[in-house]
Amino acid sequence: MATKKVLFITGVSSGFGRALAKRALSEGHRVVGTVRSLEAKETFELSHVGHAFGRILDVTDFDAIPAVIAEVEASVGPIDVLVNNAGYGHEGVMEESPLDEMRRQFDVNVFGAVAMMKAVLPFMRERRRGHLINITSMGGFITMPGIAYYCGSKFALEGISEALGKEVKPLGIAVTAVAPGSFRTDWAGRSMVRAPRSIADYDAIFDPIRAGREAKSGKQLGDPEKAAAAMLQLIESAAPPAHLLLGGDALALVRDKLSAMSAEISEWEKVSRSTDG
């Protein structure tokens, strides 16, 4: 039987984080989960007494993170797997969306995840083992109008994960960016921040996208419980990948993007080569 691990998962109150915590607990692992209210902490800890440990933390409270990690290492045990799951989607036409909303999007989805990894890495380096998992998105590979800030944040996290993976592989630490397609979580519902409309020029391109996403919320293709099972498989892997897509939609859309990009690179190859020498 596989060894039981300590998982630290940010954002276990709903969606992927909750499903992954539940699955990991049911398989005998111990899970430290972050939440943002006392009520959510109690609900989480009662879900599996003695194995589920709640910690109240907003991932943008960067200065608080190192102490939370150090305390968990001392009281619960060595963290084997960190899952940076906490995050949200900002939806809005870029020109209409205030820069402050971009800062918030990057604070949560990028800076929060990096701050968590920085806090855990000294412990993992000392042990020469560990697995950092960052939940990105298919929006970290493909883009669509109306989610520029979100895609920017997820492209950033994909890039950081991949580069970090190369830095820490010789130290026995794996980094995986997990990019889900559309799943039935609270992402497009209560969690989404929607910038108000102000420029009529964008009505034609953007209004159908916003309406479509609202209508689809709760009916997406992906099942978070199946994502949790896939992530547990990832955690058990002796050779985890740098990138893992989840969902048939993510697979098809990312493959299309990569082949379109490859075709465009070829089309412009002569110009690209013209700058050498």
Residues labelled as active-site residues: 150
Instruction: Identify the DSSP state of 153.
Output: H
Antiparallel, parallel or unpaired: β 6-9 and 30-35: parallel
Note whether 108 binds ligand NAP by CB under 6 A: yes
Angstrom distance (rounded) from CA 30 to CA 169: 25
Binds ligand NAP by CB under 6 A, chosen from 53, 106, 187, 206: 187
103-110, long-range: CB < 8 A, 24+ apart = 104/60, 104/193, 105/149, 105/150, 105/152, 105/153, 105/193, 106/149, 106/152, 106/153, 106/156, 107/60, 108/59, 108/60, 109/150, 109/153, 109/154, 109/156, 109/157, 110/153, 110/156, 110/157, 110/160
Q: Concatenated DSSP letters for 27-51?
A: TT-EEEEEESSHHHHHHHHHHTTTT
The span of 58-66, 165-173, 203-211, 234-242 binding ligand NAP (CB under 6 A) equals 58-66
Q: Please compute, for residue 248, the number of CA atoms within 13 A of its CA located in the half-sphere on the CB side.
A: 4
Binds ligand NAP by CB under 6 A, chosen from 27, 45, 58, 96: 58
Binding to ligand NAP (CB under 6 A): which residues in 196-215? none
Position of tokens 């890039």? 159
Note whether 186 binds ligand NAP by CB under 6 A: yes
Q: Give CA angle at 82 (180, 39), nearest 5°.
A: 85
Binding to ligand NAP (CB under 6 A): which residues in 212-251? 220
Closest CB 120 distance from ligand NAP, rounded Å: 16
For ligand NAP, the nearest residue by Cβ is: 15
Note whether 185 binds ligand NAP by CB under 6 A: yes
Closest CB 212 distance from ligand NAP, rounded Å: 14
The span of 15-23, 141-149, 169-177, 197-205 binding ligand NAP (CB under 6 A) equals 15-23
Binding to ligand NAP (CB under 6 A): which residues in 31-50? 34, 36
Would you give the end-to-end CA distance of the chain in angstroms? Answer: 58
143: left (phi over 0), alpha (psi -120 to 50) or beta: beta
Binds ligand NAP by CB under 6 A, chosen from 6, 8, 9, 13: 13
| Residues 161/134, Cβ–Cβ less than 8 Å | yes
R_g over Cα of the chain: 19
The span of 10-18, 95-103, 194-202, 228-236 binding ligand NAP (CB under 6 A) equals 10-18
Binds ligand NAP by CB under 6 A, chosen from 83, 119, 182, 244: 182
Note whether 194 binds ligand NAP by CB under 6 A: no
Binds ligand NAP by CB under 6 A, chosen from 15, 54, 146, 240: 15
Residue placing its CB nearer to ligand NAP in the complex, 149 or 202: 149
Note whether 86 binds ligand NAP by CB under 6 A: yes
Binds ligand NAP by CB under 6 A, chosen from 25, 135, 142, 232: 135
Contacts with ligand NAP by CB under 6 A lie at 10-11, 13-17, 34, 36, 58-60, 85-89, 108, 135, 137, 180, 182-183, 185-187, 191, 220
